[in-house]
Amino acid sequence: MFRRRHVDPKARRIALQIGGSRVALGTAIFVATRPALRAMRFPEPGPTGVALAKLGGGRDIAIGGLTLAALSDPDRLRTVILVSNLCDLADAAAFAFAARDQQMHLPAFSGVLSGGAAAAVGFWAWRRLGDA
């Protein structure tokens, strides 16, 4: 008989926090774009900036939702966490490039730190899920 693999409880807890945070932040950015961007210290965006922020918010809602939906399946969760981590690394790199603009120094610095930290914690969980 096949035995279902166990989901590491610490990795699952981290995945729950990552997924929930993505859904919450993504929803805030998608629904209240300008206030969310102001809270993150971005300069006032034009229509293109608002559209791109909503795109990122939608992406975070989708990845967070997939993460939450995969919490009971270690193989699926490991795959989704990997995608989430790669997105966090891409975000950190994008913020690093944006830091060249004087108006972006503070949000870019915050974005590099938060994206890098989220990826580091996520890769820790990803590795533990592979050990289950």
**Cβ neighbourhood burial of 26 (10 Å; 0-12, 13-18, 19+):** buried
> pLDDT tens digits for 104-115?
999 999 999 999
The stretch 95-107 carries a mean pLDDT of 95
The pTM of the full predicted model, rounded to 2 decimals, is 0.91
**pLDDT level of residue 131 (50, 70, 90 thresholds):** confident
> pLDDT tens digits for 27-58?
999 999 999 999 999 999 999 999 999 999 99
- Give the mean pLDDT of the chain: 94
Give domain limits for the chain.
9-131
- Neighbour count for residue 6 (Cβ, 10 Å): 9
The stretch 65-90 carries a mean pLDDT of 96
**What pLDDT score does 6 carry?**
80
The stretch 75-86 carries a mean pLDDT of 96
**pLDDT level of residue 83 (50, 70, 90 thresholds):** very high
Per-residue tokens: 7? 């989901």
The stretch 84-91 carries a mean pLDDT of 97
As a whole number of angstroms, the distance between CA 67 and CA 78 comes to: 9
Per-residue DSSP letters for 1-32?
---PPPPPHHHHHHHHHHHHHHHHHHHHHHHS
As a whole number of angstroms, the distance between CA 21 and CA 87 comes to: 14
Per-residue tokens: 118? 């989220």
